[in-house]
Structure 1
């Protein structure tokens, strides 16, 4: 498999290194098993001869030439973790050149992978329009605003499409590398994941902090405060809208536009977050925790936690020890 990592000025150090380390380990184990050539031909390419990472480390890159033949291109994240940093970065001359190059590669049949903030660069090309994708969870409101044609689901860690694959936040780079290794050899991916004490995760949901998403919009932030104050008493769209001096229709639309979900679904997110916190440090049994978040018994809460997090209560308690 011929893979190029597209390195741009100010890229996220960890994103680059975990990709290279994962493929390096895969090649080492593959060669040890077969005695043949490395399974992955990995190069670091760029629109400049040299780039610096977000921490200022110099990275020599291979200049992109027409004879560079690839199966996959990976777009790692830029070290721009806020909208104020990211939006101007997407208009930099080198980033514009990189986006044009991605379109050329796509036209040649190259598959494109992107993780974390790298998904913004890919979405800017239009290649994700009308396709399912994920992104770094805390910038999902900005992503949804900029790219309304993309079918975004930031709760997922990896989302394949006919254009390639997108991966979630930060360490999603490692999930992405393992996913690509697994496409070549499931057995090899298992060995690499064990050496790195990592495996492909299906969801970002357990890591999402609802308050961080709410801060993208003043009305949603006020709704979040109302919701937290009413976790025990339950959800009413009309009551929430009246308390916020808006209409139920407006609140519904704003939640969908900013969060990609209904007010009730976001209210459930807050219930899950609160229940997780109580599972960790309160010493309460499940029925008592259920009462704290507005349920009459623990069975309903148990179902909600498994639906949202993919784990049962026993697993969640174990994770938090």
Structure 2
């Protein structure tokens, strides 16, 4: 399987290494499997749209010119080193991003599948290939992504999202999940073996890592709603009261929450309850019933079920940090 790693200047060192090392490990471990379970080798080529490419830490990356490279079976894009909305926006404005988007469209027309992790999902979205598709990205960049690419169906709670021929992964170490998805498509047995060697525990969700107020601060109306909501967790939700506190109408509040966070006011209110519950479980000694009462739930059973559904973890796991 021919895989191109599309590397732009300022690439995130950890992301590039995670993709490369995961697939290299898969090639090494394939020899330990029965022939029927071992896929053909993953052939990696680092390609670029510029002759000179350096990582975010200043290391030189030798690349093959993308325009002259063979059409791959798959192309993987490691994250850009710009991690915050303002620096990422400036990085996306550079010409090499447009050139990379053109290359991606060409390879897509030739039948290549495409994967992007972390901030690279922005680069893939710039190509317009994700329009009408589902995707994920780094959780703290979700508001910026929604505003920039309204035609993409974003679910930042997911660690990995596959839609049509496109796979996007969440933040930082989700590069490994992206690489494993390629291995899994050829050999589930090999993917499981690689995960064990790299001590990777599969996780379908980024939700447990999200810091809700980091997302809310990208919009003043949403930020005012968030401040009100934190004071109301134990008292229940009222859309009318929420809109009044945010200084806007109920319809405008709902529209702003959907545009910035992709959520309804009530669902974001529930997220804040979950965040508070997790904090109390990890830092205090209150019982589950006491914590549930403190954030407006009738009993601990409801809270346990919600934690399991939202985070994929139980109370014991959250208390121990496992």
> What TM-score do the two structures reach when normalised by structure 2?
0.96
Unaligned runs of 5+ in 2: none
1:8 maps to 2:8: yes
- Of 198, 204, 211, which aligns to 1:209? 211
Shift of 1:62: 1.4
Asked if the contact 1:178/1:199 (under 8 Å) is kept, the reply is no
CA distance in 2, matches of 1:195, 1:50: 34
Question: For residue 107 of structure 1, what is the aligned residue in structure 2?
Answer: 109
Shift of 1:95: 1.3
CA distance in 2, matches of 1:265, 1:224: 12
Question: Deviation digits for residues 187-225 of structure 1, max 9, x if unmatched?
Answer: 111111111111332111111110111111111111111
Question: For residue 144 of structure 2, what is the aligned residue in structure 1?
Answer: 142
Question: For residue 238 of structure 1, what is the aligned residue in structure 2?
Answer: 240
Give the secondary-structure state (helix, strand or coil) at the position aligned to 1:69: coil
- Of 78, 81, 85, which aligns to 1:79? 81
Asked if the contact 2:118/2:170 (under 8 Å) is kept, the reply is yes
Give the secondary-structure state (helix, strand or coil) at the position aligned to 2:31: helix
1:184 maps to 2:186: yes
Give the secondary-structure state (helix, strand or coil) at the position aligned to 2:18: helix
Give the secondary-structure state (helix, strand or coil) at the position aligned to 1:159: strand
CA distance in 2, matches of 1:111, 1:285: 49
Asked if the contact 2:49/2:67 (under 8 Å) is kept, the reply is no
Question: For residue 28 of structure 1, what is the aligned residue in structure 2?
Answer: 28
Asked if the contact 1:31/1:37 (under 8 Å) is kept, the reply is no
CA distance in 1, matches of 2:259, 2:33: 50
- Of 254, 261, 264, which aligns to 1:262? 264
Matches within 5 A, 1:269-284: 269-284=271-286
> What TM-score do the two structures reach when normalised by structure 1?
0.96
Matches within 5 A, 1:36-47: 39-47=41-49
Moved over 4 A (4+): 34-38
Aligned length: 320
Asked if the contact 1:127/1:163 (under 8 Å) is kept, the reply is no
1:127 maps to 2:129: yes
Question: For residue 96 of structure 1, what is the aligned residue in structure 2?
Answer: 98
Shift of 1:66: 4.2
Asked if the contact 1:255/1:263 (under 8 Å) is kept, the reply is yes
Asked if the contact 1:28/1:38 (under 8 Å) is kept, the reply is no
CA distance in 2, matches of 1:212, 1:5: 31
**What do you get for the CA RMSD once the two structures are aligned?**
1.5
Question: For residue 302 of structure 1, what is the aligned residue in structure 2?
Answer: 304
